[in-house]
Chain A
Amino acid sequence: MADASIPVPGNVGEAVDITPPGEFKGTWLEYAHSWIVTVDHKRIGILYIGLGLFFLVVAGIEALLIRIQLIRPLSNFVSPDSYNRLFTLHGTTMVFLVGMPILFGFGNYLIPLMIGARDMAFPRLNAFSFWVSAFAGFLLYYSLVGGEGLAGAGSAPDVGWFAYAPLTELAFSPGHSTDYWTLAVLLNGIGSIGTAVNIITTTFCMRCKGMTLMRMPLLPWLYITMSTLVLLAISPLTAAQIMLLVDRYLGGHFFDTQAGGSALLWFHFFWIFGHPEVYVLVLPAFAFANEIVPTFSRKAIFGYAAMVVASVGIAFISLSVWAHHMFTVGMTSVSNTFFVLSTMMVSIPTGIKVFNWLATMWGGRIRFTLPMLFTTAFLFQWVVAGLTGIILAVAPFDWQVHFSYFLISHFHYVLVGAIVFMIFAAFYYWYPKATGRMLNERLGRLHFWLMLIGFHLTFDFMFIVGLLGMPRQIYTYMPDRPWTTLNQIISVGAFLQGLAILIFVYNLFYSYSHGKKAGPDPWDAWTLEWATSSPPAPYNFETEPVVASRRPLWDLKHPEDPDSAYE
């Protein structure tokens, strides 16, 4: 740098792209083809998110059918068999085909932009992972046709999303519906592992000049942690699915209790995957909060290093808590105590994160834009989700409520109250970057309030109905139980949420053509993705950016007081 009088520490300014994104000139078919063969991380990210949104609507409809069935006692809106299929498909779809694809989609889209890279480390592996996951999704739903005919017995999988053995054995689940479930989850896992390998490699090997690991935005940091968990947690699930396939197709005895096999082993294998999976889903939600809270509090994140350590700590501890899903199985008191204590320990790094978000907001000039509204709701709901988690971690209490709606409400507080709310926040925050248009504010606020009211109607009252003894997974209930009114409130809340999501999806399409023009940096944010145009050109940055601090755009906008002078 010859000109030492320029105080900009780094040349992110040159990275701002001024060329307009090229209009596609070709037939409609060529345009579709270009999306199918694409290896661009931004397009694959959008494909992932599109897939996730499609299945969100599908699994949401399944949830509403469940809620219609439970709205009154002795209802027979759906048959008992269909009811089992509905909650199996709802769970499997929401975890594997909604949560994972949407979060991987955001990771795919954002990580290269945030670390100043041209693309992911392995673009073709990226495309492969997406198409395998998408195929897995349609394979799962093909079971409706291919299991044993559209109306025949055993069409869709009905073994629950946890597929406990020995119910999944050939003797108890004849036909092909369970095979479709196994193969879909297996394939989806292969896609997830591919993307996890890709994210880890990208963040370690593709960072732009000057971006040391401790200068990375927190989002890529949390995605590294999440991807490591995917490698360590999804692989056991893949192994367990292979064992199940050996049992079902080759006549093996892994989970065949008649030949000495153990159903308990499946419990362990499934939850060795199942609990880290919760953190696989929630860490990206934390990652979004880590970006959104500082931007709209107009402050740098409080305790960057503590945030990194806490995230890695959560991932590490979460690998040793799985059997808290199995207190009711009847374990020794030593194992019970171990898993109670390890589960409670997760709340320490999680608490550090919550306090750091609060400290970031404290004394900041908070702007309650749509992303910040959802993030604030997330903070409250995440605390309730975490606290009920600690309650459930106490084994004697868990024995009482494990099979009740209390537990259902707890994990929906995590999955909806925390993760889905943060996914919406991320949509409102990064939609302008991906499309160049802002999402409509009025529709957005309507979406937020409907979602918030609907969420609390549904899941707050689900806690109560659970404490009143309503068991999970029941098809219907007797009129003399004190559950009817509460179930009606819960169902009304569910429909409010469904309406909110419809408004949101409508907003996504409406604002694509009618939204306000966003420009490259609508939120006055500080990370690298806002340096390039919206939507970014296929090559992301015109010149390779060089950064000197955690907030390169702050340095660019405030040359008189750059972060790099303090870090």
Chain B
Amino acid sequence: MSTIPLEHTMIGSDWHLPKRGVVGMCALIVAESAMFTIFVVAYIYYIGKSSFGPTPRQVLHVPVLGTICLLSSSIFIWLAEREIHRARMSRFKVLWGITCLLAAVFLSGTAQEWYRLIFHEGLTVRTNLFGTTFYSLVGLHAAHVTVGLTILTLVLIFALANRVRPEHAYQVQVFSLYWHFVDVVWVVVFTTVYIVGR
């Protein structure tokens, strides 16, 4: 009898499993990545296949300001996350507010670009294959930014009302994973549309 190791006596205090939020968000990110991959593949496949103009080189301008804003928002959300972990709520609010602002600047940049393309350059989804793939890919990403900005704003409102407290650091961390993902996708979309595609 004494030869049987009573393994379970060792289990207990050191039984660690990954946390649900992070694993769930990572799984969602895998699914989203697969979806973006298909849109990027379609975009690359159709580069230069449009039967008539306008072509990307004629109408697209590289969105420098928007890209800088979106990519730096990743740094600010990371700083904000660090502050909430240290329970420094006023700094958290400021940094979170900056993140919101940067995301809003990016989205308004996209809106202006689309306005110019539609009303001045005459490029719509119907115009040609470039229009179809451009609005779909950039639009899918912009939709993800919009979802992110909505959540960012909600968290900001709750933070300003002092409803976001240091014990919510984990939830903030899970959301920031999503935000980093949206930023990484922009790097891919930017490279595809504005560098390879032109």
Contact = CB atoms under 8 A, between A and B. Distances in A.
A7 B128 contact: no
Contacts of A210: 7-8, 11, 15
A249 B11 CA distance: 58
Interface stretch (B35-43, B60-68, B82-90): B35-43
Interface residues of A, number: 54
B27 A201 contact: yes
A4 B7 contact: no
B125 A231 contact: no
A253 B20 contact: no
B51 A9 contact: no
A346 B96 CA distance: 49
Contact of A239 (B27, B39, B133): B39
B7 A9 contact: yes
B2 A205 contact: no
Contact of B34 (A5, A227, A231): A231
A254 B31 contact: no
B110 interface: no
A291 B50 CA distance: 54
Interface string A261-274: 11001000100100
B45 to A, nearest CB: 6
Nearest to A231: B31
Interface SS of chain A: helix, strand, loop or mixed? Answer: helix
A205 B18 contact: yes
Nearest to A249: B125
Contacts of B17: 204-207
Contacts of A547: 8
A231 B35 CA distance: 9
A246 B125 contact: yes
Interface in B2-25: 2-9, 11-12, 15, 17-20, 23-24
A564 B7 contact: yes
B192 interface: no
Contacts of A269: 38, 42
A238 B19 CA distance: 28
Interface stretch (A147-155, A192-200, A336-344, A521-529): A192-200
Residue picked from A198, A251, A562, most chain B C-beta under 10 Å: A251
Contact of A1 (B9, B32, B36, B46): B9
Contacts of B23: 121, 200-201, 204-205
Contacts of B50: 259-260
B34 A209 contact: no
Contacts of B196: none
A449 interface: no
A122 interface: yes
Contacts of B19: 205
B129 A253 contact: yes
Contacts of B31: 193, 196-197, 231-232, 234-235
Nearest to A4: B6
Contacts of B34: 231-233, 235-236, 239
B38 A1 contact: no
Contact of A205 (B5, B11, B20, B49): B20
B163 to A, nearest CB: 21
Contacts of B4: 7, 9, 562, 564-565
A562 B23 CA distance: 33
Contacts of A196: 27, 31
A234 B32 CA distance: 10
B38 A253 contact: no
Contact of A252 (B1, B49, B132): B132
B27 A262 contact: no
Interface string A184-219: 000000000100111011001111011000000000
Nearest to A564: B7
Pick the 3 closest A-B CB pairs, nearest first: A235-B34, A239-B38, A252-B132
Given A7-B1, A252-B136, 20 more contacts: A1-B8, A9-B4, A11-B8, A204-B18, A204-B23, A209-B8, A210-B7, A210-B11, A210-B15, A232-B34, A235-B31, A243-B39, A243-B136, A252-B132, A253-B128, A254-B132, A259-B51, A260-B50, A262-B46, A269-B38
Interface of A: 1, 4-5, 7, 9-11, 121-122, 193, 196-198, 200-201, 204-207, 209-210, 227-228, 231-236, 238-240, 242-243, 246-247, 250-254, 259-262, 265, 269, 272, 546-548, 562, 564-565
Interface of B: 1-9, 11-12, 15, 17-20, 23-24, 27-28, 30-39, 42, 45-46, 49-51, 125-126, 128-129, 132-133, 136, 140
21 contacts: A196-B27, A201-B20, A205-B20, A207-B17, A209-B15, A232-B30, A232-B31, A233-B34, A236-B35, A239-B39, A242-B136, A243-B39, A243-B42, A250-B126, A260-B49, A261-B46, A261-B132, A262-B45, A548-B8, A564-B4, A565-B3
